[in-house]
Structures are given as structure tokens and as C-alpha cells.
């Protein structure tokens, strides 16, 4: 399903026509340029590869630079793909603008969550802490037992333990579009979305909405 690549600007609040205060996240959606159209014959799957923004050609490596030159498209700050049907009318150099979202009320947004470094089980997995009294003086935030007896005598894979929190690919579905600003290429989404300010996000029409 075709989508757009945007940049998260930050959070704000706006008033609806009824006077209700709505918390929103602002996304800047500059024009996306189609770099390559992939098909079943040559690539074994159908998709369009897009880029956005402008990047100095001296700041990208030779393989990427040659890829942009081959398809006669200005270098962007990255490459993203969207799966499409085999029979489509897309072509290299085509511009996708924020206007393609005007017919949709709900979108799914994908981004990388904020990295929070090493975290314990209480913060990472919402474990409850142990007693603060009754003889417990050192293990208030310890996870407790993680293994079994002699059989099987090991810790199972996937056990919820301390470790790196955040910095993972996250998708939030069915987010409402509050407003679209064609002039400044701003998209106002109700609520919060993954990622930090100035991070890239992928916007797709919601897959759970019947059309």
C-alpha cells in the first residue's frame, strides 16, 4: 500500500471547530520522489522505492550515488519502499505529495521509538517491585527467580529480563488525521507517534479501515 515518508516535528495542541482542545503531533511531509519501480520479472516483487529531501552528492557513497544517477533522480536523505500491485502507473521521477492522504481519515505510522539505554525489569517490562520491608533490604527492584530446578536446569529463551529499552521499530495503527496543511506540507495527527523530533516516520493509510 502506497504511503509517504515524513519527518516528525514535535507535539502541539489545536482547537477543533467545536472548541475542543486536541493534542496533536506535527509531521512535515515534503514531496516524495519515486526512484525505482520494482516488478515481479526483474525483482521478484512489486514495489516503489522513494526518497525525500535533498542530500549533497558528496555525502553519499558511490553505490547510492550511482543508483540515483541511473534513475535520474536527485539524491535524498534515504530510501524507503512501499509494496504495490503488479499493474500500476508509477514511474521513476514521479512526485508523491501530501495530497494523496486527503481521502483518508485514519493512518498507520511507523517509526523507531526513543532509545532509553539499559533498563531494569520494572521499567522495561512493568514488573512489580518486591516488598520494602519484612527482611528485604537489598532486592527491592530485583526481578526474582529466573530459572527452574535441576530439570530443565536452564533459563528459557525469551525470558523477560533487564536490557536495552527502546530504539525499536514501532507501528501505531488507526491514528486520526486532524488537519492537512497543503501550503506548508504539515500533517496534524491526533495523539503521539513513535520517535524523537526530526526523526523519519512512514505514513500509510490504515489497513483496518474498510474501503
Please report which confidence band the pLDDT of residue 86 belongs to, taking 50, 70 and 90 as the band edges. confident
pLDDT recorded at residue 147: 85
The pLDDT mean for the chain works out to 93
Q: Where are the beta strands (DSSP E) in 29-79?
A: 32-38, 47-52
Is the model more confident about 26 or about 145?
Answer: 26
Is the pLDDT at 175 greater than 80? The verdict is: yes
Using CA atoms, how far residue 16 sits from 11, 153, 179, 188, 190, in Å, is: 16, 60, 10, 12, 11
> Cell 496533536 sits at which residue?
24
pLDDT recorded at residue 1: 73
Is the pLDDT at 183 greater than 80? The verdict is: yes
pLDDT recorded at residue 87: 84
Is the pLDDT at 112 greater than 80? The verdict is: yes
> Cell 501550503 sits at which residue?
183
Q: Which helix (H) or strand (E) holds 204?
A: strand 200-205
Please report which confidence band the pLDDT of residue 88 belongs to, taking 50, 70 and 90 as the band edges. confident
State the pTM of this model.
0.87
Amino acid at each position: 500500500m502506497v504511503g509517504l515518508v515524513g519527518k516528525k516535528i514535535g507535539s502541539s495542541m489545536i482547537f477543533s471547530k467545536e472548541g475542543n482542545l486536541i493534542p496533536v503531533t506535527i509531521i512535515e511531509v515534503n514531496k516524495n520522489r519515486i526512484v525505482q519501480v520494482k516488478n515481479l520479472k526483474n525483482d521478484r516483487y512489486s514495489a516503489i522505492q522513494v526518497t525525500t529531501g535533498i542530500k549533497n552528492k558528496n555525502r553519499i557513497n558511490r553505490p547510492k550515488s550511482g543508483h540515483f544517477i541511473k534513475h535520474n533522480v536527485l539524491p535524498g536523505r534515504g530510501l524507503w519502499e512501499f509494496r504495490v500491485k503488479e499493474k500500476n502507473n508509477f514511474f521513476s521521477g514521479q512526485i508523491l505529495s501530501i495530497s494523496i492522504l486527503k481521502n483518508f481519515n485514519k493512518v498507520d505510522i511507523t517509526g523507531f521509538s526513543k532509545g532509553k539505554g539499559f533498563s531494569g525489569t520494572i521499567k522495561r517490562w512493568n514488573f512489580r517491585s518486591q516488598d520494602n520491608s519484612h527482611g528485604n533490604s537489598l532486592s527491592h527492584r530485583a526481578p526474582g527467580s529466573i530459572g527452574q530446578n535441576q530439570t530443565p536446569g536452564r533459563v528459557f529463551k525469551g525470558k523477560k529480563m533487564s536490557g536495552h529499552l527502546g530504539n525499536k521499530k514501532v507501528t501505531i495503527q488507526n491514528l486520526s488525521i486532524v488537519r492537512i496543511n497543503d501550503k506548508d506540507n504539515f500533517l496534524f495527527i491526533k495523539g503521539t507517534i513513535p520517535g524523537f523530533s526530526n526523526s523519519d516516520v512512514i505514513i500509510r493509510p490504515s489497513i483496518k479501515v474498510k474501503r
